[in-house]
Amino acid sequence: MGFLYLLIAVLGASTGTTIDKLNFKRNRIAARQLILLIFFAMSASLLAFVLLTHQPFPHFVLASLGLVILIAIVSFGSNAFDYLSLKADDLSLREPLNDFEPIVAGLIGYALFPGERRPGFLLAFGLGAIIVYYGTHRRKLRRLQKKGMTYLLLGICLEALLPSTYLVSLHYLSPVYIALFRVMAVLVLSSIFLPVRHVARLSSKKLSYGMVSGAIYALATVAGLFAIKDLGVVLTMLLSLLGPFLRYSAGYFVFKENVRKGEMASSALLALVVLVPIVR
């Protein structure tokens, strides 16, 4: 089931990102407005699932409470920087740097959890890093895009810490409750520290796009946590390298962005890196 969970998580994250970009391009939604809308939709979706399925409330201990607080703070920072970056850059500009996130997260898991260490995994991450580096475009960036890439780098550094934290937290809490506490905390923190100063009209299209992507993200988040629980951090992050090809494809076919052939080829090669531990 771990591989099925991971497939749902990868497809869900790619679909959610695509819908968000459509919301930016077509509806001109503000970045701060979008992050609040999405995390409201995620919170509502997860809370409805908990209530409808009568999930037993978890018993908190000091360790689990500390981990939940850590996840909340890191998640807020990574998502805030990511959405500010998404507004500034098209998907194809984001991807060369964004593709490093599962590699960095996997290497962190490799260092922290000796039981997950396999030489093939380390080789695959090394090959993946080389492919991402040489697949990086050389296009000249506008000032706004440079600013967006800085936001993205900060978001990636924080996001890469989360999978290992999730794995430890899963010893105390279920994936559903980890996801619920995380998104509700991000919603509250975003409302406090990233308030919408100039309230733009929230049209029905902005609302529908945000609610749909939020529900999809909620599903992807829970599925990703189940994948980490079943497969571990390292293997989950390695298999997540399938995601870039999906996002490049969305940039090219959905948004008609100028995705270079080399970028498409490198993302396809990155997906093939997943086979390295299998064929060794």
Q: Are 194 and 79 in contact (CB under 8 A)?
A: no
In this structure, is the dihedral angle defined by the CA atoms of residues 59, 60, 64 and 67, taken in order, positive or negative? positive
**Residue 171 CB partners (closer than 8 Å, separation 6+):** none
Distance in angstroms between the alpha carbons of the first and the last residue of the chain: 23
pLDDT band at 173 (very low <50, low <70, confident <90, very high): very high
State how far the Cα of 124 lies from the Cα of 133, in Å rounded to an integer: 14
Q: What is the pLDDT of residue 200?
A: 67
Give the max Cα distance, the chain. Answer: 56
* Reduced DSSP (H G I as helix, E B as strand, rest coil) percent helix, strand, coil of the chain, to 5: 80, 0, 20
Greater model confidence, 148 or 61: 61
Under the phi-then-psi rule, with left for phi > 0, alpha for psi from -120 to 50, and beta for the rest, what region is 277?
alpha
Whether the per-residue pLDDT at 278 is higher than 80: the answer is: no
Q: Are 35 and 80 in contact (CB under 8 A)?
A: yes
Q: What is the residue range of 41's domain?
A: 2-279
Give tens-digit pLDDT for 63-122.
Answer: 889 999 999 999 999 978 877 776 665 555 666 677 788 999 999 999 999 999 888 888
Q: What is the pLDDT of residue 240?
A: 86
Centre a 10 Å sphere on the Cβ of residue 144 and count the other Cβ atoms it contains.
11
Q: How many domains does the chain have?
A: 1
